[in-house]
Chains A and B, each alone.
Chain A
């Protein structure tokens, strides 16, 4: 896409700059032109990385509609050049570069889907079912290296899973340990090997029906 006509909207951030901060009122959104941006959220004493965004991606897009406190912080992890827009000049952007509307639409769709999936996990009552559903979700979105049709190798951590489930790391660790003891999963520092994903699917489905 050609963005040369939008030079007046260009902003540069240095490595380590917070582009915006969680809870700050938000009135602008950004289209990355170069460099990477980390979306992070401080949860208790942990800085949780929610996403890493690359050139061509947008962030802060909720500001297209209204000003609301930011739900996460955006951190430049290298020198980042981005175009900065607000509600008012968004239409100028669309007129000058209609393809961008598809990029934004795709972003919305992906985020709606991710959030819905997360919501589905959170509506399960039993913490063990939540953890199992996170395995399902991650196996849906990650390509598995395993050769077995039912085994899934998932790149994740206890912290990650606890975050998705909205439970403490300690509680999550106990549930995972229980699954390990039952020989349903194996784990190392970065991966969880789910022996039979269908077992977990049946488990989650039965709990969801309740």
Chain B
């Protein structure tokens, strides 16, 4: 059972460097953590909030304490052993999610600090970095990994700076593989292809993400393919409703206005509570406008104005469209 402990003002709960066994939560009173900030080398003080845990990292990781805890006013703390804390943590999703987020943030921050000190690593932008990795494996004759990296490169950057080089490398890699004895060839080529299928069967969100990436680069045809894959293969997947919506957007940008209208009309009928319903109406209006059916377009845009918050981008766009049509009329 966790114990409730009282501490008098001016006492110390633990010192920096002490062996760590317990985890604490402040119930009432005022406590202060004193530690050396590793970024500045300066001493730092941080107040503990009521209800906040402290001593978690050192106790769970069995590292010496990294701070000294001063008691400023008489305080009550609840003291947990590591296993008691784990019990609490595991049985309370809210606490575990919160704490994981706090630690994930800390990890990201310290990662960033380390990267900043290693300035040379920061000079690489992700696009060039990914391409370089393909090149590294290619030069080292590790074709399986090279193929993966170049294929990923083309997925994320289909019109990127190194697109033609990556395509050439893939061609060369494949012809190297052609020249290999059949049994070796299989070990190099089959696995990544198999993996893609296995992975995609498991993860519709990855395909969705790829589709969005293609969409943002203006490659609407391939984006449409990605979203269609989700619609046909993962009708119970999490990305399904989003893919339905994005399919309509692709039709619009491909200037397939009839398809766009048909698609969004069906979506609204099928999922009247779809979170992007207002935007679906906008695309219906824009498609009508593009087809020259201004009267119908106005009715869609006017409908949008009766829905949702005035300041959303969709409503602003609907207003602009109405002004545009009025100007033309």
Contacts and interface: CB of A to CB of B under 8 A. Distances in A.
A88 to B, nearest CB: 6
Contact of B111 (A47, A91, A106, A115): A115
Interface residues of A, number: 60
B111 A64 contact: no
A150 B57 CA distance: 29
Contact of A65 (B101, B110, B132): B101
Contacts, number: 159
A73 B213 CA distance: 20
Contact of A23 (B110, B114, B133): B133
B130 A106 contact: no
B103 A105 contact: yes
Contacts of A123: 38, 41, 117
A42 B136 contact: yes
Q: In the complex, which of the residues A8, A105, A115 has the most CB atoms of chain B within 10 Å of its own CB atom?
A: A105
B88 to A, nearest CB: 11
Contacts of B148: 17-18, 21
B199 A119 contact: no
B163 to A, nearest CB: 16
B177 to A, nearest CB: 13
A119 B156 CA distance: 32
Given A17-B192, A88-B238, A101-B96, A9 B202 contact: yes
B209 interface: yes
Contacts of A43: 121
Interface in B91-140: 91, 93, 96-97, 99-101, 103-108, 110-111, 113-114, 117-118, 120-121, 124, 126-127, 129-130, 132-133, 136, 140
Contacts of A122: 114, 117-118
6 contacts: A14-B194, A24-B130, A65-B101, A88-B205, A91-B97, A102-B90
